[in-house]
Amino acid sequence: MKDCTPYNMAFACFECCKSFKREFVLTDGVPLELKCPECAGPSYNFGRHFKAPKKSDARQWKKVRFLFDHGFRFQKIRIGSGDKDTVAYPETMDQAKKFVIEYKAYAREYD
């Protein structure tokens, strides 16, 4: 039997600097993009583990956008064989610049 557990997925709008969650059953498919409920512009799927910065934190939103533009949507990056062997996402833009180079093999291309 397929897993029918619903998951909350975080979607972020770069125009509004806001995030919202929507519930999906993974076997039904999950969109990469939804319309932002505030501005009606695009909001992007950042998965289950994304924690949005405060709306007023322009530096952090710039870092999130930088990571997004380089194929990172805050998916877990597993570097070892165990479930706990994951890479933490960078806290600063300087760390993000190094991160996209070091973990480029884990970046995804989205249409």
Q: What pTM value is reported for the model?
A: 0.86
The total domain count for the chain is 1
pLDDT tier at 2 (50, 70, 90 boundaries)?
low
Q: For residue 77, is it within any domain?
A: yes
Q: What pLDDT sits at residue 29? A: 78
Q: For residue 66, is it within any domain?
A: yes
Q: For residue 95, is it within any domain?
A: yes
Q: For residue 111, is it within any domain?
A: no
DSSP labels for 96-108?
HHHHHHHTGGG--
Give the residue with greater pLDDT, 49 vs 26: 49
Burial class (CB in 10 A: 0-12, 13-18, 19+), 10: buried
Give the residue with greater pLDDT, 73 vs 80: 73
Question: Rounded mean pLDDT of the chain?
Answer: 89
Q: For residue 46, is it within any domain?
A: yes
Q: For residue 90, is it within any domain?
A: yes
Lowest mean per-residue pLDDT among 43-47, 60-64, 105-109: 105-109
Q: For residue 1, is it within any domain?
A: no
Q: What pLDDT sits at residue 71? A: 95
Residue 67 has pLDDT above 60, yes or no: yes
Containing domain of residue 43, as a range?
6-106
